Structure 1
Amino acid sequence: MFLKSKIGLLKKVLFLCLFLIMGSFAATLNAAEKAKFIVNDDPFIFRNQKFIQGKKYTPQELQEKVGKAYEVADKAKLIEVIYSDEGLVFSLDRQNYFCGLEFFMMKDDKDPIIIYDLKIQLSDTYESIQKKIKALKITYNLYEQEGTNPIIDMEFISKKFGKVNVAIVCSQYEKQQVLLAAVLYMDIIHE
Structure 2
Amino acid sequence: MSNSYAQAVLRTTDLAEVLRAAGRLLDLADTTELEVDFEARVSTPRELERLGGVMPDAEWWSYGGDRNGSSAEGDTPSECLPIFMRRWCMAPEAVAGFLAATGNVPAMVRWDFRGWPEAPEAGLGVGGTRGAYVTVCVNARDLDLDEPAPDHTLYVHVKQVEAERAPWLAAQVGLRVFGELEMAPL
Q: Which TM-score applies when normalising by structure 2?
A: 0.29
Q: Which TM-score applies when normalising by structure 1?
A: 0.29
Larger C-alpha radius of gyration, 1 or 2? 1
Q: Larger relative contact order (C-alpha < 8 A, sep ≥ 6)?
A: 2
